[in-house]
A and B are shown apart, each in its own frame.
Chain A
Amino acid sequence: MLPSLASDYFQFFGLPPKLNLDPDELQRRFYELSKLLHPDRYQRKSAEEKRYSEEATALLNDAYRVLKDPLQRAEYVLRQAGFEIGEQRSKDVPPELLEEVFELNMALEEMREGDSSARPQLEQARDKFHAMRDEIDARLKNLFVLYDAAPERERLGEIRSVLNRRRYIRNLVNDVEKELQ
């Protein structure tokens, strides 16, 4: 009998469900498991074993892709805990950014219409949002440490709202960068 596959990504890697993971350790395990499971190693085996290897490796790769990225990893933990993770709609502007976003949209509109005088303003906005994003990342890091020390559900709720804000800002940065190119 082939061992059944753990569907939980952390379990699959034999790691505790932490928001902070040692990337080197994760990579080491990824390589180890790849050597064990990869279809290249099952070419001469039975059809059943081949299929197993393909399924297991697909799961391994999917899990690794999520776990190696801190943000995707956090979203995964949230989803496993039953939180909804949806794409933030543009209308759900975080209240403290309302004014900022309004002015930014005006500037973006001007740029799109070929008025390049808005460029300095956009560049300023981009730098500002970059700084904001860095700030958020630092805060997330902190929250991750706190959660790992004491995994409480409230903390996850807080992480979710920070993640949403980050996604919102990332989208803004993308829009601005596209216009500036």
Chain B
Amino acid sequence: MSTFQIDFGESKKQIIGIDLGTTNSLVAYQGLTGPEIIPGEDGDRLVPSVVSITRDGKVVVGNEARKMLITDPDRTVYSVKRLMGRGLEDVREELKLFPFHIADGSESVIQLQLGEKTFTPPQISAEILRQLKRNAEAFLGEEVTQAVVTVPAYFNDAQRQATKDAGRIAGLEILRLVNEPTAASLAYGLDKRKEGTVAVYDLGGGTFDISILRIHDGIFEVLATNGDTHLGGDDIDNLLLRIALEDIQSEWGEDLSANGEAVQTLRRAVIDAKEKLSFVPGSVIELAYKGKTYARQITRDLFDKLITEIVNRTLLPCRECIKDAGVTVDEIVEVVMVGGSTRIPLVRKAVEGLFLSKPHTELNPDEVVALGAAIQAGILSGDVADQLLLDVTPLSLGIETMGGVVSKLIHRNSTIPASATETFTTSVEGQRNVLINVLQGERELVKDCRPLARFELRDLDPLPAGMARIEVRFLIDANGILNVTARDARTGKEQSVDVKPSYGLTDDQVEAMIRESYEKAEEDFKERQVREMRVEADAILAAVDKAKQSDAFFELEEEERKAIDLTINELLVVYHSDDHHLIHSYVDKLNKVTMKLAENMMNTAVRGALKGTKI
């Protein structure tokens, strides 16, 4: 094949857009007429971000898994996005509210216990990605290997890295991480008349983002972003759940909170009640469990009072974002609402109160991010040529200096890619290593910022103290992920940099997980081959069984008949082995020893046919 054809084939491959959400995930692609959501096998456009491991080790994702949340709560996990790129310390509070089963040995990387096995959050997310990939492949009728995946704008480096790791484990190359509100703005901007400064308010299941953009001539320039990666619909669910559990305890005199099945059933009831309240003024939280029933009326008025504090927590990031963007409220021509939680009337009211204009709710808040991801995929493939995203980094990046103080190198809301260069030297004669502690956050002191990674400059030439001059370049790429390179300013030589991420997986760990997933894919493949071979064996066994009733069988020599019976017996034994080659060889053998039988049958049939023919 000529190079030209290879290039052509490559460039035609579809890049999919994925919204990897806390509650639901979606996959979309850029079609000829615009972005389109790809439905799952069950026809649903939303794939619940729930993963379950069945007793025989099968991975189940989506609506099926959501059912298992109630029947098999110990083998099922939801809202895993909350744990991505996090350390155990970060999620202590979450663990009180979520039924995550943390396995031993989670100090450096969180391990979730699902049944007999443990999984890291990126591995769970990889299962969701794999499902979306399968859905896309079934729908498009071709292999899909590349994707654009969205992340909350306020995700830090570790959370972004963890998302990229999930892609690698799933065998999906993530070409670009796009911030969710920015992706949404692309879908909103499909209408070419849209120009000016807009705000995107994105309140999802687990995260909150606010971004302010300037849209001009196809350029979507993010001016500022802010948010909270632990604020969303989940918090409302947990609040209602806690109230209902206490209510039930006082009514039934029974504490259900340790009962996984009951809690998950109640959680479902709470979510149903919450969702109804966006459309009707009152609903009921209902639970029927082991012959007992619970029903609590809840009016929207009361609901609003309960969630006021949660909704108000979104307003401070909004105000800061407006300030950082350097715009006034009057300059913002529209507020685009994204995320399922923006269906809540109180949320809309709060947004309207702050931005002094009616929020834009024409787009489906569940789908707009995935559609935007598909458009971004189109931009990367070259199919969409008239739009371009200019995004920013949500958090400042700095290094530790004397006295535990952070010296900021790249400020938050800098357009990415962004870079900074800093020169380092040694403090001791003959020093060979320099350790650079990189942090992310807005505070002044190291202890108040989030450690991102430690970079070690190694094998420096031994020199008197202060003589070495190592230029270190910090580059935040278009995905919002930090890359560090170093150069000896005296010699111009590249300097090796060792990275020790403070959170998340090392490269080796990711590699191991990829290998494991290959092995698993191999296992799956092997199993399928065995199953297919058994189907073949079934077919030939049934055919031979039928032939044995015919005259043709008795026309065979006794030796031949014996050989057939023996082979049937052998095949029935190997049938239950896990080796498809073995089954295959006996299917072959049976084919061979019944060759004459088949011929006889054919002849009989021909004779019969001739007999039936009047000449």
Q: Which residues of A contact B (CB under 8 A)?
A: 31, 34-35, 38-41, 43-44, 54, 57-59, 61-62, 64-65
Contact = CB atoms under 8 A, between A and B. Distances in A.
Given A31-B219, A34-B388, A41-B388, 19 more contacts: A31-B221, A35-B219, A38-B478, A39-B417, A39-B477, A39-B478, A40-B380, A40-B478, A43-B381, A44-B380, A44-B381, A44-B382, A54-B478, A57-B478, A58-B418, A61-B415, A61-B417, A62-B420, A64-B415
Which secondary structure dominates where chain A touches chain B? helix
Contacts, number: 56
Given A44-B11, A54-B478, A61-B414, A31 B419 contact: no
A51 to B, nearest CB: 11
Contact of A38 (B217, B381, B388, B420): B388
A61 B389 CA distance: 13
A59 B414 CA distance: 12
B526 interface: no
A35 B221 CA distance: 12
B175 interface: yes
B219 A43 contact: no
Nearest to A59: B419
Contact of A61 (B376, B380, B388, B416): B416
Contacts of A65: 414-415, 418
Interface of B: 10-11, 175-176, 216-217, 219, 221, 376, 379-382, 388-390, 414-420, 475, 477-478
Contacts of B221: 31
Contacts of A39: 417, 477-478
8 contacts: A38-B390, A40-B176, A40-B376, A41-B388, A43-B382, A44-B11, A58-B417, A58-B475
Q: Which of B221, B414, B415 has the most CB of A within 10 A?
A: B415
A126 B217 CA distance: 41
A54 B475 contact: yes
B218 to A, nearest CB: 8
Contacts of A54: 417, 475, 477-478
A59 B475 CA distance: 10
A58 B414 CA distance: 10
Top 7 A-B pairs ranked by shortest CB distance? A58-B417, A43-B380, A58-B419, A61-B415, A39-B478, A31-B219, A57-B417
Nearest to B414: A65
- Among B176, B217, B381, B478, the one with the most A-chain Cβ atoms within 10 Å of its Cβ is B478
A65 B413 CA distance: 10
Contacts of A40: 176, 376, 379-380, 388-389, 478
Nearest to A42: B380
A34 to B, nearest CB: 6
A62 B477 CA distance: 13
Contacts of A41: 388
Contacts of B175: 43
A44 B415 CA distance: 22
Contacts of B416: 61
A40 to B, nearest CB: 5
A84 to B, nearest CB: 15
A57 B382 CA distance: 18
Contacts of A62: 418-420
Nearest to B473: A58
Contacts of B381: 43-44
A35 B216 CA distance: 12
Contacts of A57: 417, 478
A58 B417 CA distance: 5
Q: Among A35, A41, A59, find the residue whose CB has the most chain B CB atoms closer than 10 A.
A: A35
B74 to A, nearest CB: 43
A31 B380 contact: no
B96 to A, nearest CB: 32
Nearest to B387: A40
Nearest to B390: A34
Nearest to A69: B326
Contacts of A64: 415
Nearest to B214: A27
